[in-house]
Structure 1
Amino acid sequence: MWYLQTGPCDKGEKMLKTWYSFLLCWLSLRLEANPGLKVRITQKGLDYGRRIGMELLKQTVLKETFPSLSGQESFFVVKVNYVISRLRINAVDFPETSASFIPGTGISLSVAHASATISADWRMNTWLLSKHQGGITVSISGLFIAVIFEVSRDSTGHLSMSLHNCQLSINSIKVKLNGGSSWINSFLSGYLEKPIHTKLDKNLCLNIKYKIQMMDAQLRKHKVLSQIDAFAQIDYSLISSPAVFKSHINLDLKGAVYPVGNHTDPPFAPAPFALPNQGDSMLYLGVSSYFLKSASLAYYRAGAFNITISEELATTFNLNTALFKDFLPEIALSYVTACPALLKLMATTPPVVSLDADRCILQITGCVEVFAVLPNSTTQYIFTGNLTASTRANLTITRQKLIISLLLKRLQFSLLHSTLGFSKQMSLLENFVSYALRSAAIPVINDKLGKGFPLPILAHTTLTGPVIKINQGYLVISTDIHYKHEEGGDADLHSHS
């Protein structure tokens, strides 16, 4: 039998490899721990959601249909079979509601002193009597419900909800009947209160659990990968379960931007950042430089920063060979008759994004190639230059999207190669390239960025009065929200107490 004997050196090498593997695994976990985006819902936002939720609940309850109730009761020696059908809620009132965060768990919602009026049809029969039927009105008062929702993250990065606890108590149920004889009314009024009470005790929390399961199923249908445009997508998946505190809940999202069809993670990691300890707004969105850097890399990989300026695009100047004769005098000898020209601008590295106090700077390093378009539609190379453009990024929020538009601040240009010799008027050539960038190239880039980055907010909600604050390495959007139901009902409560 052949075998290899492991010596002290081999054992040490194996231990070292094991240690390196452990260290790399630990580092990779640490690198994934920081989010690119943060979402914070404050108590003010929760109170707004409670008010909207209760209004929607009222609308839903008044439209809801309920299954028939049937049973058998004994009245002295007489057994009575009854059926309650066509149950419908005519009125409901939730005078006292409250919502709060349960640290480490989720959200608590309580309803006190609630009341409801229910109408239905009744039918009964016994072996002694023929069938009797009529109408019934049930008045419920003093209803108390306390529900705790648990929030978590599922295996696919979706937000998940489940029922953690449900408590219910009913102070009074009154039943009033019409139709039938007086003794039947007396019987049903007294005996139906108990089964209705029992049914509510048994089924109300089960119904709430079912509704939460439906909400959870809807949350799982939401796409965590959001399409921006033809160039890029955003990964909005949760990287950890929501962190619930007494005054707010934090959602940490991956916040990585990818080229469409290529979900390779950027070769850099998000740095930690914290949202301000404030609660004046309903919602706080934290956007790290990692998010913007990954967007820059995604658009670079997708070729969004590569632009060809032609005569059609250069609407503010005549882009032809005669334009360059002041920069390269030899061009007049080579092109006696002016030919159309092309400027090909290419980013050679991903644009560098930096966030500083109240400033967002995007620095683009690239090259420009100039060609003449000959009468036979072929192109002839003229010169190549290197450029470094420093742009100021203006950030605005429109249509629930973060819009980035660039403004050229400084340009450095150097002529790298030319078939017609090197210009002695470099400052003039640099000024022209700067003008071409401002008037033609930057507007094209802004048009590509103009669709904006969709922000992670709920359906049917819009941001009201958003304010952007740029900090070192990240920016914070503080905003209230406005909910508009898809059927057209407004619910703008951001200024209410």
Structure 2
Amino acid sequence: MGDLARLLLRSTLLGLLLTSAPGALGANPGLVARITDKGLEYAAREGLLALQRKLQDIKLPEFSGDFRIKHIGRGNYEFHSLQINACELLGATLSPVPGHGLSLAISNSYVRVQGAWKVRKSFLRLKNSFELHVNGITIAVNLLLGSEPSGRATVTTSSCSSHIRDVEVDINGDLGWLLSLFHNQIENKLRRVLEKEICERIKEAVTSDLQPYLQTLPVTAEIDSFVGIDYSLMEPPRATARTLEVMFKGEIFHLSHRSPVDVLVPAMSLPETHSQMVYFAISDYVFNTASMVYHKLGYANFSITDDMIPSDSHIRLTTKSFRAIVPRIAKLYPNMNLELQGSVVSAPVLTLSPENLYMAPQMEIEAFVVLPSSVRELVFRLGVATNVSATLTFNTSKITGSLKPEKLQVELRESKVGGFNVELLEALLNYYLLNNLYPKVNEKLAHGLPLPLLRHIQLHDLALQIHQNFLFLGANIQYMRT
């Protein structure tokens, strides 16, 4: 990737992670990111270094022609082998342009050019070297940010201009007439060439380097082998007075069988804070679409058989052992094994608030007797409720979490074997869920939800806040050079 692409990208890059004011149902973003003026300042600083290297690659043409100077007469001149050997950009600002995109302004900069000259008049031939000091360079570039129908980000150069205040030349030797020749015939040509080349290089880099780099911003990202997240842009990136913002769909979906998700996308009212470079707002919509997809996959369904019970447990999944819980079961089904089948009735909803993160899954457990013929016969049905608290964290590239359930509340809903002691069964179920089901779920959550980041971008100085209906993540950004 070209250096200029990295320069402008580090600005846009941050800009391609952003936020927006929510609209009507279905139009609100699931994930919002925002680059602040502090982030744009960082991008401008980083970009100056890359642009300096880019401008040093400009190839300057030779200048030749005829001259006529008093007391010297006619002759031919040639200024050749012009090469930029130093470039220093001393000041830059990267600013959002509301309704447009980004504006990059560079001022108070200079370029040093080395070259050679030669003059021929009749039999006289002179040659030597010279050095140009190109001072007071200003550059202004406007970048138009857009999006493709696929939801990918686009960037084009809508305008570019550069201006050189003055050009000074140092010619070796006491040749004032040659210096006069340079100023009269060459200086303006060189100025025009440089001003044009600067913008041509910038436009070329935006097309060949910056735009492809923006394509590294994921439109979809896999969470595991079954589920992914949709990070397509809902509209072109939006510039405000102090930020550059973008809205991402943020919907979790099944990789093989995607279908519409009937989940409310709540509006998010983001805090007006600018102390860090980038902020992400992740709506509870993201987590609740994940809950729906995993529920359809039956991820939280479970089966408990006797061979899954610890060998030192006093309660076995046999009708004999269950006499203490269900007195009639051993008489009706002597010396038979039991099997418990559990399922979550509906996809649990994660509630985010400053006070708490919790879910309240409702489960149903059916108990079967395994008859000698291996046929399973339903003997009772239970309703199970619990509150589950959630802990969410994030690192340099993703959000992770874990669940911690409270004690189960068990209700007997149907029984073909009479009444029984529900409290003892609660103890068995609590043990199993705490030691088997929730560790399995937490292992999945530990894999994390990847954040939409461009290539080579790493987050640091992380901060997390919980607001009504969304997480608010703040971070500074570092571009990791390769």
Q: Structure 1-normalised TM-score?
A: 0.78
Structure 1 residue 169 displacement after superposition:
1.5
Q: Number of aligned residue pairs: give it.
A: 448
Residue 35 of structure 2 corresponds to residue 38 of structure 1: no
Counterpart in 1 of 2:54?
A: 61
Q: Structure 2-normalised TM-score?
A: 0.80
Counterparts of residues 26-425 of structure 1 (less than 5 Å): 30-58=24-52, 60-61=53-54, 65-67=57-59, 69-76=61-68, 77-80=74-77, 83-84=80-81, 87=83, 89-119=84-114, 122=116, 137-176=131-170, 192-213=186-207, 214-220=209-215, 222-308=217-303, 318=313, 320-321=316-317, 324-329=322-327, 343-369=340-366, 384-416=381-413, 421-422=417-418, 424-425=420-421
Q: Deviations over 1:49-105 (max 9, x none)?
A: 2222223334x438x6444623532223444566436x3x44332222222222222
Instruction: Find the aligned partners of 1:83 and 1:313 in 2 and give their Cα distance.
Output: 85
**SS of structure 2 residue aligned to 1:72:** strand
Counterpart in 2 of 1:429?
A: 425
Instruction: Find the aligned partners of 2:481 and 2:428 in 1 and give their Cα distance.
Output: 52
Instruction: Find the aligned partners of 1:305 and 1:133 in 2 and give their Cα distance.
Output: 84
Unaligned runs of 5+ in 2: 1-22, 69-73
CA gap of 1:325–1:48, structure 2 versus 1, over 3 A, is: farther
Aligned amino acid, residue 75 of structure 1:
F
Structure 1 residue 226 displacement after superposition:
1.3
Instruction: Find the aligned partners of 1:202 and 1:374 in 2 and give their Cα distance.
Output: 88
**SS of structure 2 residue aligned to 1:47:** helix
Identity %: 25
Structure 1 residue 429 displacement after superposition:
0.5
Aligned amino acid, residue 67 of structure 2:
F
Structure 1 residue 312 displacement after superposition:
8.1
CA gap of 1:130–1:67, structure 2 versus 1, over 3 A, is: farther
Aligned amino acid, residue 239 of structure 1:
M
Structure 1 residue 454 displacement after superposition:
1.1
Counterpart in 1 of 2:19?
A: none
**SS of structure 1 residue aligned to 2:394:** strand
Aligned amino acid, residue 40 of structure 1:
R
**SS of structure 2 residue aligned to 1:143:** strand
Kindly indicate whether structure 1 or structure 2 has the higher relative contact order, using CA contacts under 8 Å at least 6 residues apart.
Answer: 2
**SS of structure 1 residue aligned to 2:275:** coil
Instruction: Find the aligned partners of 2:203 and 2:357 in 1 and give their Cα distance.
Output: 47
Moved more, 187-196 or 356-365: 187-196
Note the aligned Cα RMSD (angstroms): 3.6
Residue 100 of structure 1 contacts residue 109 of structure 1 at CA under 8 Å; is this kept in 2? Answer: yes
CA gap of 1:186–1:50, structure 2 versus 1, over 3 A, is: closer
CA gap of 1:151–1:316, structure 2 versus 1, over 3 A, is: farther
CA gap of 1:424–1:218, structure 2 versus 1, over 3 A, is: same
CA gap of 1:331–1:171, structure 2 versus 1, over 3 A, is: same
CA gap of 1:266–1:258, structure 2 versus 1, over 3 A, is: same
Q: Deviations over 1:163-208 (max 9, x none)?
A: 23323211233345679x9799758865554433221111211221
CA gap of 1:413–1:242, structure 2 versus 1, over 3 A, is: same
Counterpart in 1 of 2:14?
A: none
Residue 218 of structure 2 contacts residue 453 of structure 2 at CA under 8 Å; is this kept in 1? Answer: no
Structure 1 residue 324 displacement after superposition:
4.3
Residue 176 of structure 1 contacts residue 189 of structure 1 at CA under 8 Å; is this kept in 2? Answer: no
Unaligned runs of 5+ in 1: 1-28, 488-497
Structure 1 residue 391 displacement after superposition:
0.8
Structure 1 residue 317 displacement after superposition:
6.5
Structure 1 residue 370 displacement after superposition:
5.2
Instruction: Find the aligned partners of 1:178 and 1:374 in 2 and give their Cα distance.
Output: 107
Instruction: Find the aligned partners of 1:348 and 1:68 in 2 and give their Cα distance.
Output: 73
Residue 461 of structure 1 contacts residue 481 of structure 1 at CA under 8 Å; is this kept in 2? Answer: no
